[in-house]
Amino acid sequence: MGSTKNYFLTLLEQCSEEQFGQDAIEAALVNGALKLTYNLPTDLHTIFDLRSNCCDAPPQGECCAKGSGRCSQCGEGAQFESNFDRFVVAHQKQCREHGDALVEVYRASGIMEEILRPMSLAQHIPQPVQDYAGTHHTS
Ligand SMILES: [Zn+2]
């Protein structure tokens, strides 16, 4: 199990220097979108090779910078992206939905007001009041 973990950490380092990119790979692995062969070059190809949106096939010849090219399977012009792009997009979507769901839970349970309260309190800093004895209170 230890070597699997080490392999995975090496793979993550190769994939992205950013935490979000690494999280996206990890999420893809957990949800089954990414299957590892535990052969580093093969797995990096699986993650980074460009595939057409129509046939999931590699581009014919070189792909232009914007990801458009010719599909090697059907021969039509196609948009290309890597699995890494797809993982990142899927992970962004999932994080956003998760965040939205969390806000809903907070709102429903009244925690949101609890969280926001210190901010509104700060706008009502108690003013010192003077009573008949002339002493100052801050209540
Ligand atoms: Zn195609």
86 C-alpha vs ligand 1 centroid, how far in Å? Answer: 17
Q: Where are the beta strands (DSSP E) in 12-106?
A: 50-52, 68-70, 77-82
Q: Hey, where are the domains in the chain?
A: 2-123
Asked if pLDDT for residue 60 goes beyond 60, the answer is: yes
pLDDT band at 118 (very low <50, low <70, confident <90, very high): low
Question: Bridge partners of 137?
Answer: 129
Whole-number Å distance between alpha carbons of 54 and 46: 17
109 C-alpha vs ligand 1 centroid, how far in Å? Answer: 49
Global pTM?
A: 0.69
Asked if pLDDT for residue 102 goes beyond 60, the answer is: yes
58 C-alpha vs ligand 1 centroid, how far in Å? Answer: 9
pLDDT at 72: 94
pLDDT at 137: 58
52 C-alpha vs ligand 1 centroid, how far in Å? Answer: 6
